[in-house]
Amino acid sequence: QVHSLQELRRSASLATKVFVQRDYSDGTTCQFQTKFPPELESRIERQLFEETVKTLNGFYAEAEKIGGSSYLEGCLACATAYFIFLCMETHYEKVLKKISKYIQEQNEKIYAPRGLLLTDPLERGMRVIEISIYEDRCSSGSSSSGSSSSSSGGAGG
Amino acid sequence: MPAASGKRFKPSKYVPVSAAAIFLVGATTLFFAFTCPWLSLYVSPVIPIYNAVVFLFVLANFSMATFMDPGIFPRAEEDEDKEDDFRAPLYKTVEIKGIQVRMKCWAVSAGEKLCQPSLSPSSPHRQEFDHHCPWVNNCIGRRNYRYFFLFLLSLTTHIMGVFGFGLLYVLYQAELSGVRMAVTMAVMCVASLFFIPVAGLTGFHVVLVARGRTTNEQVTGKFRGGVNPFTNGCCKNVSRVLCSSPAPRYLGRPRAEQTVLVRPPFLRPEVSDGQITVKIMDNGIQTELKRTKSKGSLEVTESQSADAEPPPPPKPDLSRYTGMRTHLTLATNEDSSLLGKDSPPTPTMYKYRPGYSSSSSSAALPHSTSAKLSRVNSLKEPNSICESGHKPSYRSEPSLEPENFRSPTFGKSFPFDPLSSGSRSSSLKSAQGTGFELGHLQSIRSEGTTSTSYKSLVNQTRNGSLSYDSLLTPSDSPDFESVQAGPEPDPPVGYTSPFLSARIAQQRETDLHGRFAGAVSPKHVPPREPSPVRYDNLSRHIVASIQEREKLLQQPPAPGREDDAGLADSGIQSTPGSSNAPRTSSSSDDSKRSPLGKNPLTRPAPPRFGKPEPHHALRVRSLGSPEQPAAPHLGKSVSYSSQKTAASQAGVPEAEEVALQPLLAPKDEAQMRTSYSKSNGQPKSLGPAAPSPGPVPLSSPTRGGVKKVSGVGGTTYEISV
């Protein structure tokens, strides 16, 4: 059947992007809104999404946490005229690495199988969590990939 | 002039920073060269060391402040072309920490929108933009603010140190001539010259840090009111600036390779039972069981109440529902519409008859079904009893009450349960304790009251027999049993519209009497949907009574049957009686029904029940009989059954009446009879005639034992007590 061939060439095309904005209700700390975007209604379970965002929020809170370790780090940096930054990475950067690993893992396990992709907020300046929604190109699903894919393609840079 | 990336090289831009650098480094060097040796010899060697340290600190911070970007957002390439977007921010108000803050929203890039509080970060380009420092030739933002602040502090300290020690030198020198003196004096002058602005700036920023503001905010007077939503308190602000871990830069980061491939086929969220929110549209008492998947729930509810719309193409995760939906769709278009339309407060009805359940359980009908009744009493028992006889009817019920049938699966309460319990209990009471009752009672109980009968119904439906056909085919005992055995537990969470439950009961009756052939055509249900609202309001009672009736109908054709049917009818009828509106609708339904023939199924409302085929009505009655104990039930069931029977068949009325009798308590009976007869007459006449007369007698609140229950929609139901 023709389908087999088509199936082999099945690929997903970017349909649209959803942006999860920052939640400023707690000040300028880096938090993202856990409100479930309506575009994801049919793509992923609400609970999974919320869990992802909450975990990310937790990570960011940990990164910005002011504690003994961060204070010491600051003092050390001052003492060494910030040369220490050449050798070791800051606490914040460590957490950022954890975040990116987490996002990668989430993408692999949960989002990609559902045709979604999370973008690390760091790549967007910590402003939004960008979720790309893909549509199966072979399916006749409602995919508004036309304009959005072109624009998203442009924005991918 | 070298041009860098198309930008013009502006030397003037670098004047301040150059001057600052020159002065800083130069003066300090001279200080070290000329002043420090004497100081180290005559005062203390610590001085140069101290000054060296401070100077180093200054340099480090200066460098960091100069060369560290303030947190510039990485922008997509096309952002350069979309400058206009940046210039046209939209504003919206957001509450931050209890304070209304205006947010500026920019379209940053393709569809991406950036909303920032318009106070703190004033520019979409930089995070927490503070200001542009010409001395550092850099914008100060979130990232380098710390270094800038420390730079200021250290510079101030350094200047003070240099000036002080120079002064010391000068003071201690006997002669005020010499190169050293001159140099020292020069350095002191420079130091003092710079001290005033730097100290001033430092002090300014100290205040800013303490207040948690940025320079921009302070200068533009945004916080004149003294209210800053972004402040965390003085100490916290200071610590946040100084002690928090330095934020990383955004630009120039190595782009992580996208190693995750997105390949179809894609999973779709599963609409698990637990997630389906059965939203019962009742009087605002919406029992939303678990709204994990709003869409799913929507679909579920819609499928139930949807106007005969086939469910969306079943997705794998929704496969569960597929069957149900299909059934639902097939089964009752109108039922669903009835269900979905209005949200009569089944709960209201249900609540209204709390006693029914209990009473129903204890009701002991003389009929053969009494045994079953006892089972009903247990309420918790699976509706096995009901199963035996009522499968067919139950089966069809699910179609009427999609929620019900889902509830076992979802663990949600059946919307019908309250209804069913109510109606069932009444019907049970009125009926002769048929198996239906048990089922009804059980279901009712599950709710907390008694909808056993309903539950059995639901159970049945759960088994997958959601179509009307099941109702019609009486031989589903096995299914019924299985259904019954299961689920009790799904306590009716929501309320399916009483309309539905009534429908189901009707369907059951139809089924039961399906053998009567021709009489019942579940498919005919659709036509009768005149007043879903009312039925919904009737809710529990009606449903319960309906169910009971059905059970009764399902009972072995034996003696109790007719009685049951009649009772059930009465039970069902009682509900409608409770409200004028439903009554009217029911009567109208009845009227409709009559022309339709026996479409018990189509009528969720009590009157409908009365309408279905005669045998159905009979069945209903039998169902109702078990409920006799509860007076109100009786009243209801009686009226209901009376209505039903009257509507449905000509020859039945008597039978129904007879059936009703055992169900009703003596006094109620009389009442019921009256109402029943009235209703009996009504339904039939209603068809052609105006429906109002039918329900009227039942609806009079003044009726003995008639309670008025008002539903959400403003509908009032009279429940004959």
For residue B503, the Cα-to-chain-centroid distance in whole angstroms is: 28
**pLDDT exceeds cutoff 60 at B135:** yes
Q: What is the pLDDT of residues B183-236, one digit of tens each?
A: 888 888 888 888 898 899 899 888 888 877 666 666 776 655 555 666 666 777
Q: How many domains does chain B have?
A: 1
If 0-12 CB within 10 Å is exposed, 13-18 middle and 19+ buried, where does residue B167 land? middle
CA atoms of B580 and B593, how far apart (whole Å): 19
Please name the residues in contact with B244: beta carbons below 8 A apart, sequence gap of 6 or more: A64, A65, A66, A70, A74, A92, B146
**pLDDT exceeds cutoff 60 at B721:** yes
Q: How far is the alpha carbon of A28 from chain B, nearest alpha carbon, in Å? A: 6
Q: What is the pLDDT of residues A2-22, one digit of tens each?
A: 555 555 556 778 888 889 888
Under 8 Å between Cβ of B582 and B549: no
Please, which residues bridge with residue B101 across strands? Answer: B94
Q: Which residues of B touch A74 (CB under 8 A)?
A: 242-245
Output the pLDDT for position B221.
Answer: 67
Q: What is the 3-state secondary structure (H, E, C) of B327-379?
A: HHHHHCHHHHHHHHHCCCCHHHHHHHCHHHHHHHHHCCCCCCCHHHHHHHHHC
List own/partner pairs for B149-154 with CB under 8 A and 24 or more apart.
B149/B205, B149/B209, B149/B241, B149/B242, B150/A78, B150/B57, B150/B61, B150/B242, B151/B58, B151/B61, B151/B62, B151/B64, B151/B65, B152/B198, B152/B201, B152/B202, B152/B205, B153/B202, B154/B54, B154/B57, B154/B58, B154/B61
Partner residue opposite A155 with nearest CB, options B109, B256, B295: B109
Give A 113-152 residues with CB within 8 A of chain B.
113-117, 120, 122-128, 130, 134, 136-139, 148, 151-152
Q: How far is the alpha carbon of B151 from chain A, nearest alpha carbon, in Å? A: 11
Q: How far is the alpha carbon of A122 from chain B, nearest alpha carbon, in Å? A: 7
Under 8 Å between Cβ of B545 and B439: no
Under 8 Å between Cβ of B676 and B658: no
Under 8 Å between Cβ of B626 and B452: no
Q: How far is the alpha carbon of A14 from chain B, nearest alpha carbon, in Å? A: 10
Interface test with chain B among A126, A127, A139, A147, by most B beta carbons within 10 Å: A127
**Higher pLDDT pick, A61 / A24:** A61
Q: How far is the alpha carbon of B50 from chain A, nearest alpha carbon, in Å? A: 13
Partner residue opposite B262 with nearest CB, options A22, A41, A117: A117
Q: What is the pLDDT of residues B653-677, one digit of tens each?
A: 444 444 444 444 444 444 444 444 4
Q: Which residues of A touch B63 (CB under 8 A)?
A: 82
**CB within 8 Å: A42 and B295:** yes
Helices (H) and strands (E) in chain B, counts: 31, 8
**CB within 8 Å: B112 and A17:** yes
CA atoms of B458 and B492, how far apart (whole Å): 10
For B281, the 3-state DSSP assignment is coil
Q: Which residues of A touch B150 (CB under 8 A)?
A: 78
Output the pLDDT for position B701.
Answer: 44
**CB within 8 Å: B264 and A136:** yes
Residue B554 lies in a domain: no
If 0-12 CB within 10 Å is exposed, 13-18 middle and 19+ buried, where does residue B559 land? middle
Token readout for B615 is 């045998």
Q: How far is the alpha carbon of B230 from chain A, nearest alpha carbon, in Å? A: 5
Residue B599 lies in a domain: no
Residue B188 lies in a domain: yes
Neighbours of B633 (CB within 10 A): 48
Q: Which residues of A touch B114 (CB under 8 A)?
A: 21, 127-128
Q: What is the pLDDT of residues B250-294, one digit of tens each?
A: 666 666 566 667 777 777 776 655 555 555 555 544 444 444 444
- The model's confidence at residue A53, banded by pLDDT at 50, 70 and 90, is very high
Partner residue opposite B256 with nearest CB, options A19, A41, A100: A100
Interior CA angle at B500 toward B499 and B501, to 5°? 95
Residue B653 lies in a domain: no
For A120, the 3-state DSSP assignment is coil
* Cis peptide bond N-terminal to B248, omega within 30: no
Q: Please give the model's pTM, rounded to 2 decimal places.
A: 0.46
**CB within 8 Å: A26 and B120:** no
Q: How far is the alpha carbon of B249 from chain A, nearest alpha carbon, in Å? A: 9
Q: Which residues of B touch A66 (CB under 8 A)?
A: 236, 239-240, 243-244
CA atoms of B107 and B115, how far apart (whole Å): 9
Residue B472 lies in a domain: no
Interface test with chain A among B67, B81, B90, B245, by most A beta carbons within 10 Å: B245
Neighbours of B667 (CB within 10 A): 13
Token readout for B607 is 């009157």
Residue B189 lies in a domain: yes
What are the catalytic residues of B?
Answer: 133
Token readout for B676 is 């029943």
Q: Which residues of B touch A107 (CB under 8 A)?
A: 260
Residue B53 lies in a domain: yes
CA atoms of B59 and B78, how far apart (whole Å): 38
Q: Which residue of A has its CA nearest to B117?
A: A24
Please name the residues in contact with B450: beta carbons below 8 A apart, sequence gap of 6 or more: B356, B357, B358, B360, B361, B376, B379, B421, B422, B424, B425, B428, B440, B441, B442, B443, B444, B544
Structural domain span for residue B48: 11-72+125-194
Q: Which residues of A touch B261 (CB under 8 A)?
A: 112
Q: Which residues of B touch A113 (CB under 8 A)?
A: 266-267
CA atoms of B515 and B527, how far apart (whole Å): 21
Radius of gyration of chain A (CA): 20
Give A 63-122 residues with CB within 8 A of chain B.
63-66, 70-71, 73-74, 77-78, 81-83, 85, 90-93, 96, 100, 104, 107-108, 111-117, 120, 122
Q: Which residues of B touch A156 (CB under 8 A)?
A: 76
**pLDDT exceeds cutoff 60 at B568:** no
Output the pLDDT for position A105.
Answer: 92
Residue B683 lies in a domain: no
**pLDDT exceeds cutoff 80 at B386:** no
For B114, the 3-state DSSP assignment is strand
Output the pLDDT for position B718.
Answer: 66
**CB within 8 Å: B78 and A157:** yes
Q: Work out whether strand B706-710 and strand A128-136 pair parallel, antiparallel, or are unpaired.
A: unpaired
Q: Which residues of A touch B293 (CB under 8 A)?
A: 41, 45-46
Q: Work out whether strand A12-21 and strand B716-720 pair parallel, antiparallel, or are unpaired.
A: unpaired
Hey, is the C-beta of A22 within 8 angstroms of any chain B C-beta?
A: yes
For B13, the 3-state DSSP assignment is helix
**CB within 8 Å: B73 and A115:** no
- The model's confidence at residue B494, banded by pLDDT at 50, 70 and 90, is very low
Please name the residues in contact with B654: beta carbons below 8 A apart, sequence gap of 6 or more: none
**CB within 8 Å: B269 and A127:** no
Q: What is the pLDDT of residues A92-138, one digit of tens each?
A: 888 999 999 999 999 999 888 888 889 888 888 788 888 988 887 76
Q: What percent of chain B has pLDDT over 90?
A: 0
Mean pLDDT of B391-410: 41
**CB within 8 Å: A116 and B262:** yes
- In 3D space, the residue among A149, A102, A157, A90 whose CA is nearest the CA of residue B74 turns out to be A157
Output the pLDDT for position B257.
Answer: 64
Query: For all residues of chain B together, what is the average pLDDT?
Result: 56
Residue pairs spanning A and B at CB distance below 8 A: 189
**CB within 8 Å: A19 and B113:** yes
Output the pLDDT for position B404.
Answer: 42
